[in-house]
Amino acid sequence: AAELEYESVLCVKPDVNVYRIPPRTSNRGYRASDWKLDHPDWTGRLRVTSKGKTAFIKLEDKVSGELFAQAPIDQYPGIAVETVADSSRYFVIRIQDGTGRSAFIGIGFTDRGDAFDFNVSLQDHFKWVKQETEISKESQEADTRPKLDLGFKEGQTIKLNIGNMTSKKGGAAKPRVSGSGGLSLLPPPPGGKTAVPPIPPPSSTAIANHVTPPPVQKSSNASSADILLDLDAPAAASKAPVSATTDLWGDFSTASSAVPNQAPQQSNWVQF
């Protein structure tokens, strides 16, 4: 697994000063004022890299890139990297070689922003390491927990109740009445009555134009014998024509009498 891990660069600073520091005689911490800040022992380039969960501080030559020293860091803050008590631009790191020997040296940056970037890069890396550790721990705990069996048992069924699929009492849904124009109209509510449009009253003009024929008055002197004689008599000699005042057809007789007499013509049609 270590061979498959790749090395990533977290931070690069082109100017860094390296100092030899005196051994610490008390627990009060390191102080940069005890160093010879005007005369650094070495000057070069600093690179912060990571490989897996381990970070490395590498001091390299500016031109050739040759490695001068490196400090592996397993946790931060920790003994591998410490800040000084009197400045934020200087740090004490523990360098190691391949044989297991180690030493403490001081490093410092001319620009305060470079020191801030160096500090933040280490903090971000170990914050990521902490998150990865918590995630892997939770996954291991989840694997050891008994798994829930959410499958159906033999013969177990479920019932889904979806609204508007069936009507009440299990009956089929009522069909919708289609009106004109292809629009779907709802049927009238149950128990409702359809209102019949009222019949408009006849207007006074229609009443005035309606003519009722007057009843035909019969002579009171006519006897039952005359009625029988009238039935036996031919239609031409039955009765005298009714006066114009009581006959509805009087206008037509008057119009025909006004025409002058003409000679009778021979015709196959019977004249009525």
Domain edges within the chain: 7-139
pLDDT value, residue 200:
61
Residue 46's CB is within 10 A of a number of other CB atoms, namely 21
7-139: in CATH 1.20.120.1200? no
Span 141-170, average pLDDT:
71
The enclosing H or E element of 15 equals strand 7-20
pLDDT for position 144: 73
> Pick the residue with more confidence: 183 or 27?
27
Q: What angle do CA 51, 121, 61 make, to 5 degrees?
A: 70
CA distance 73 to 91: 14
What pTM, to 2 d.p., does this model score? Answer: 0.51
State the pLDDT at residue 43. 94
Strand partners, 49: 9, 56
- Tell me the average pLDDT across 152-172: 69
Q: Alpha-carbon distance 117 to 50, whole Å?
A: 15
258 or 18: which leads in pLDDT: 18
Q: What CA–CA distance (Å, rounded) separates 132 from 19?
A: 35
